[in-house]
A and B are shown apart, each in its own frame.
Chain A
Amino acid sequence: MRNFTLRQIIAGFAIVLLLIAFPLVVRQSFHIHVMILVFMFGMLGVAWNIMGGYAGMFSFGQAAFFGIGAYTSSYLSIAHGVNPWIGLVMGGCTAALVASAIGYPCSNLRGHYFAIASIAFAEIVRIVFNNWKMVGAAEGLSLSIQHESFVNFLFNSSKLPYYYIMLAFLLVSLVVSYFVATSKMGYYFRAIKESHKIAESLGVDVVLYRLMAIMISAFLSAMAGTFYAQYILYIDPGSVMLLATSIQIVLIAMLGGAGSIMGPVIGAAILIPASEYTRVALGYKGTGMDMLIYGLLITLISMYYPEGVWKLFAKIGRKLK
């Protein structure tokens, strides 16, 4: 268990306070929406990090778990009136189950092979959902606009509750990430990432720990999925299970700094506003300029900060000491 210095604790609180104050100061709902996306993708990045950054399983199929979470809670809510918070937990469990089912046969896949397998898996899930009548197939599911309340996980008049809930989710995922990283589990993950043989020689049950990493990652991603469904009130395979979303999650984790706890959050804080604001400022012309800038940004960051922008801030921090 690592100890924090007093400075770090104060700094952490300060940032959380700033974030809590943000939507009360900046009233325009679009900016609050962007921050909500930052938190959501930050959480997805943190979830990815647990299996990718820590355990070395580069998954390009996280959207599948995100989507399973969204679909599970939404379907249960629409068809059986199950409360979304319960649906949240069930979504997480479903995703974790599916994750273990796919993770097990893939236990000895590494690196690129695992990556491509994750793409294949996620696409299969998307295609299945796109044709599955029970969950609306291509038309997706629309959640009805009910009475707004915390219990119903639905708010109509203001975005603020969504903002704070997502922030809370993000903090929860960071805590989980921290505990995983600093525990024996994290140590085993890192050994597995290094090499299966080395891990085995240390007595680590590689298959078991890989599954654990995938399941934790899936559960957290599914939580974010349920949030999304309750926020947007409409989901379809084309919006929650896209390969592009999975890739975006990897980008965020990687550009922020895979393997570090805060890395994915920083990545989200940079990439999400970058893509949202360039689209608003430039997208409407239809020239593709906004995506050009985005692509350039990604290329440059991965060339000059291949370990993630995390390192950049670490450097700045050191210089300013």
Chain B
Amino acid sequence: MPDQLLQQIADGLLIGLMYSLVAIGLTLIWGVMNIVNFAHGDFLMLGMFTSFWLFTLYGIDPIFSIPIGFVCMFVMGTLIYRFIVSKVMKGPILAQLVVTFGVSIFISNLAVYFWTPDFRLLPATIIHGTWQIGGIELSVPKVAASIGSVIASVCMIFFLKRTKTGKAILATEMDREAALLMGINTERINSLSFGIGTALVGVAGAFLSTYYYIYPQVGGLFGTIAFCVVALGGFGSIEGAFIAGILVGLAQTLGGFFFDPSYKYAIVYMIYLITIWIRPQGLMGW
């Protein structure tokens, strides 16, 4: 039993770090623009498909296609912001919520149209197999994804705190009006953030594609959990999203193991609600 307990904790960490990776892009967009990007899960799906097609058509292993995916998704995110989202930024919050939802439906069904609803799974890529360490089994693709998550988070934190553009983004997050007064081009910051946020979830998709099945509706559950993770961690906070992701992963796995797996997501949502009641701005939000 202690063996299995360690196994569950390890797996909770691994799935949690994947949640973190999915969430950091979302929290950036949310923090900067105050937009709930309902299409986030679908961008994840696109990231997965990008990785899949690059592998299937051109034989590029997901590990190497990450930079390509990053750039593609960044461009796509920027375009979507420029042509669609920016139009509703000045309008009521509700319109902003809904427009990303419309984009979400459109993208997932565009995927159905072009790629059919069938399920696809990548065959063993460079990263595959399981490691046995101390009596527990660790899936190598999941470990790689976790490392990717840590690297991405660290890079983002560094970018936001140490670079000029990054600091401008942080400033816009904290106080939009003040940022404007300071001469920051908030429109450009918005576009950049949306692009980076989308690119990050594209990277998450590339990692996820190495061990999860790929199909047009795959964004649904991951997206909903990502919202909880972001809100739990505090909007706009990369550190918050990182920690919250791990917490959610552990809660889900341990909750499912010790109680009833059918309730495992209910446990996640419950933890979210309780945390929010105690600390409405999330763990690390302001």
Contacts and interface: CB of A to CB of B under 8 A. Distances in A.
A and B part of one assembly: yes
SS class, residues of chain A in contact with chain B: helix
Interface string B94-138: 111111011111111110110001000000000000000000000
Given A112-B34, A291-B109, A306-B91, A298 B98 contact: yes
Nearest to B277: A105
A128 interface: yes
B262 A130 contact: yes
B102 A299 contact: yes
A287 B112 contact: yes
A177 B260 CA distance: 42
A303 B83 CA distance: 10
A306 B231 contact: no
Contact of A112 (B36, B109, B270): B36
A303 to B, nearest CB: 5
B277 A106 contact: yes
Contact of B109 (A127, A288, A297): A288
Interface string A110-149: 0111011101110110011011000000000000000000
A286 B112 CA distance: 9
A251 interface: yes
Given A113-B280, A121-B273, A130-B262, A292 B103 contact: no
B84 A299 contact: yes
Nearest to A253: B94
Contacts of A130: 262
B98 A302 contact: yes
B63 interface: no
Interface string A190-202: 0000000000000
B42 to A, nearest CB: 10
A123 B277 contact: no
Interface residues on B, range: 35 or more
A254 B158 CA distance: 39
Interface in A294-321: 294-304, 306-307
Most buried by B among A127, A289, A294: A127
B269 A251 contact: no
Contact of B235 (A112, A128, A247, A299): A112
B108 to A, nearest CB: 8
A287 B114 CA distance: 8
A148 to B, nearest CB: 37
A127 B88 contact: no
A258 interface: yes
B95 A307 contact: yes
A109 interface: yes
B99 A124 contact: no
B36 A117 contact: no
Contact of A307 (B92, B235, B272, B280): B92
Given A121-B273, A292-B110, A58 B97 contact: yes
Given A121-B269, A258-B94, A295-B109, 13 more contacts: A112-B30, A112-B36, A112-B235, A117-B231, A119-B224, A120-B270, A124-B269, A124-B270, A250-B98, A288-B112, A288-B113, A291-B112, A298-B99
Interface of A: 52, 58, 105-106, 108-109, 111-113, 115-117, 119-121, 123-124, 127-128, 130-131, 243, 247, 250-251, 254-255, 258, 286-289, 291-292, 294-304, 306-307
